[in-house]
A and B are shown apart, each in its own frame.
Chain A
Amino acid sequence: MTTAAVQPTVVGLGEIAVSETAEDTLVSLGLGSCVCVAAYDPINKIAGMAHIVLPDSGGEERRQTAKFADIAIPMLFQQMEEAGASKSLVIKLAGGAQMMPVSAPSQNQMNIGDRNIEAVKALLSGAGRRVKAEDLGGTQGRTVRLFVGTGKVTVATAGKDQTDL
């Protein structure tokens, strides 16, 4: 008997996905300066992923979306808890690359990768959440997969083998 493969759930720019389907895989494709937060409840086998684009919404009403770290992180944990996850989550981070060279002082403010990393870590720390593993920074794009059945997280870069995180 053959079983049809379950299509992975692609978590696009500024999106959040939560799954408790063991055969499911959450994937953020082609992260550059974006940061992926992969969270997993190993007891209840519930997985969540946020694909964060920018560090801070600035509190503006029109920006209340998961594109921004300050909105996405609490939203991710809330959605996971609503799905039945405990507060004991295994959290892994990947992304935050610097895809454009920083050559002038005026470009420092444009280094979104570093700003995303800083914001995500500060928000997680502020929420009392510990990061178990991370693959952050650098200058290459990444694809991150979170396997719902096992909690395994893999990171792939262009032209290189996939590695476990």
Chain B
Amino acid sequence: MTNQVAFTDAQRARWDALVRKAVDHSISGLTEMAGSKIAVSDIRSETVDVTEIPEKLGGAGKITVGILLAVEEKPGFHMALLHSPEAAFSIIDILLGQDPGTSNELGELELSTLGEMGNIMCSFFLNSMGDETGIQLMTTPPTVREDMTGAVLDYILAEIMMDSDEVDLLQTTYGTDETQVDGTFVVIPSNEFREQAFQKGLAA
């Protein structure tokens, strides 16, 4: 079952480039927040069946820290940033200018830091997408959850399953010169967003 707007090869390449550029832009937002250089060292992107997502991320029962944001107003967009707890603690230490290993639990300060990180990365990401497509998107406040991967994501996956069977999955490695972190972006544009993006020149 799929009701998703199908990409031609050219559109697929254009879309991938658009999303990669937006990810780079969102990491540059993180650099501004941290006050020290954070760079993407690797991005792997693929379009996968929605039901395969939990397994792609290590299994539905694996504990993950998720920062979840959504654009509720049309054309609609979901975005999730996922990290292992250890990776999340590394990011928190970078952002708070602490020695590596300082953070080891998600208290109020740590949750707030991750929420702000989600705000900034998502804003930069969507601004980049907006610059390229002319579609302006505003997100909800971020929700930070530490729970099983399946539980963190199934709410979003359920939303996308209403219209489609596929989702764009971007797995990234980024960090400072001293600390590298593996993180995953789950980028879920609505069908309506894709259609508008095509109409506004994504297919060019």
Binding site for B on A (CB under 8 A): 10, 12-15, 29-34, 53-54, 62-65, 67, 97, 99-101, 106-107, 110, 112-113, 140-143, 158
- Judge if B95 is at the interface, Cβ distance under 8 Å: no
- Complex contact B150–A32 (CB within 8 A): yes
Q: Which 7 A-B pairs have the closest CB atoms?
A: A141-B151, A30-B150, A30-B148, A32-B151, A30-B60, A29-B60, A29-B61
A100 to B143, CA, bound (A): 7
Bin the interface of chain B by size. Answer: 20 to 34
Contact call B154/A14, Cβ cutoff below 8 A: no
Task: Specify which of B72, B148, B157 is in contact with A29 (CB 8 Å cutoff).
Answer: B148
Residues 1-37 of B, flagged 1 when their CB comes within 8 A of A and 0 if not, give 1110000000000000000000000000000000000
Nearest opposing residue in chain A for B52, CB measure: A12
B161 at the interface (CB under 8 A from A): yes
List residues of B whose CB falls within 8 A of some A CB. 1-3, 50-51, 54-55, 59-63, 68, 70, 72, 143, 145-155, 157-159, 161-162
Give the shortest distance, in Å, between A65 (CB) and chain B (any CB).
Answer: 6
A4 to B146, CA, bound (A): 34
Which residues of A have CB within 8 Å of B143?
A: 99-101
Chain A hits for B159, CB < 8 A? 110, 112
Chain B residues near A30: list those with CB within 8 A.
54, 59-62, 147-152, 154
Please state if A141 and B51 are interface contacts (CB–CB under 8 Å).
Answer: no
Distance in Å from the Cβ of B6 to the closest Cβ of chain A?
A: 14
B51 in contact with A13 (CB, 8 Å) = yes
Distance in angstroms between the alpha carbons of A15 and B55 in the assembled complex: 14
